[in-house]
Amino acid sequence: MGAPVILTRATGQVGALAAALGAQGHEVLLFPALEVGPLSDAEPLRAMLGRLESFGLAIFVSPNAIEATFAQLDRPWPEEVALAVMGPGSLAALAARGIATPGYRIFTPSDEEGEEGYARYDSESLYGELERSSATGGPILIFKGNGGRTWLAEALLAAGAAVTTVQCYERSRGRPDTAARAKLSAWIAERRVVQLVVSSSEGLHNLVGLVEEVAGPGARGWLFSQRLLTGHSRIAQNATALGFTQAEICGQGDSQLIEALK
């Protein structure tokens, strides 16, 4: 079996993936580099949900955004308000809440493979789908966490849309527990070869800082030499710019990740 796998997603979002990898014989370390939590003040979100009908399209940047938003929604989603999501995980999150085509109009990037050899599920591909469908005119509401990329909102504004963004959850730096920190420290001391799974650029930068906390600045050399897997070309590019020498794109979705880790 391959080298141990370090999963850096937020706590509570990696259970199924960790179990699947464990069943294949992988040693898995849960080392969250990013945490996702509820808003300290949800009133602005609830107020925006009260006037959903004033928007023609609502965009959810992630499954986290869907979960956090619907936790505050106290009525059915209005059928006249179209929805847009980045990929299969978000489509599944909507379907779990009874929102699917043909009852609702939902935009999502194509699952056709592009030049990179895999389907892209990101802001750029979603914008392309909205543009092809003439759905960039607005008014548009974007549900997102604090911080994060602003590319999609800026592109829609440039296209003439009236864009409103609302924060629906809070992201913060990960807090790996004592046992996880101790195991990582031991692996670094032993110069173990591992495989890293990273799902956001913010988590990537947090990971570098957390590794330095665990084992000092000298641990960067060890970290940057490890194989890093991600579903986004942008994250792979950011990793390479930081100094990682084995940043690979495996496509999005746990099944593709599991296949790449075999």
Do 60 and 154 belong to one domain?
Answer: yes
pLDDT at 215 over 60: yes
Burial class (CB in 10 A: 0-12, 13-18, 19+), 106: middle
Do 191 and 206 belong to one domain?
Answer: yes
Do 48 and 93 belong to one domain?
Answer: yes
Buried (b) or exposed (e) across 1-37, using 16+ Cβ within 10 A?
ebbbbbbbbbbebbeebbebbeeeebbbbbbbbbbbe
Do 166 and 230 belong to one domain?
Answer: no
pLDDT at 251 over 80: no
- CA–CA gap between residue 139 and residue 47 (Å, rounded): 17
- CA–CA gap between residue 46 and residue 156 (Å, rounded): 24
Q: What is the pLDDT of residue 122?
A: 83
The domain in which residue 69 lies consists of 43-172
Do 153 and 179 belong to one domain?
Answer: no
pLDDT at 217 over 80: yes
Q: What is the pLDDT of residue 112?
A: 61
Among the residue ranges 59-73, 136-150, 236-250, the one predicted with the least confidence is 136-150
Is residue 38 one of the residues assigned to a domain? no
Do 164 and 191 belong to one domain?
Answer: no
Decide if 11 contacts 36 (C-beta within 8 A): no
Picking from 118, 149, 172, the residue at the C-terminal end of a domain is 172
Do 47 and 168 belong to one domain?
Answer: yes
Do 166 and 214 belong to one domain?
Answer: no
Is residue 135 one of the residues assigned to a domain? yes
Tell me the β-bridge partners of 166: 143
Give the 3-state secondary structure of the chain: CCCCEEECCCCCCCHHHHHHHHHCCCCEEECCCEEEECCCCCHHHHHHHCCHHHCCEEEECCHHHHHHHHHHCCCCCCCCCEEEECCHHHHHHHHCCCCCCCCCCEECCCCCCCCCCCCCCCHHHHHHHHHHCCCCCCCEEEEEECCCCCHHHHHHHHCCCCEEEEEEEEEEECCCCHHHHHHHHHHHHHCCCCEEECCCHHHHHHHHHHHHHHHCCCHHHHHHCCEEEECCHHHHHHHHHHCCCEEEECCCCHHHHHHHCC
Decide if 122 contacts 232 (C-beta within 8 A): yes
CATH code of the domain in which 9 resides:
3.40.50.10090
Picking from 146, 172, 198, the residue at the C-terminal end of a domain is 172
Mean pLDDT of the chain: 91
Is residue 254 one of the residues assigned to a domain? yes
> Average pLDDT for residues 125-147, to the nearest whole number?
92
pLDDT at 116 over 60: no
Picking from 172, 189, 211, the residue at the C-terminal end of a domain is 172
Phi first, then psi: give them for residue 195, nearest 5 degrees.
Answer: -125, 135
- What is the number of domains present in the chain? 2
- CA–CA gap between residue 214 and residue 14 (Å, rounded): 22
pLDDT at 194 over 80: yes
Do 249 and 194 belong to one domain?
Answer: yes
pLDDT band of 114, cuts 50, 70, 90: low
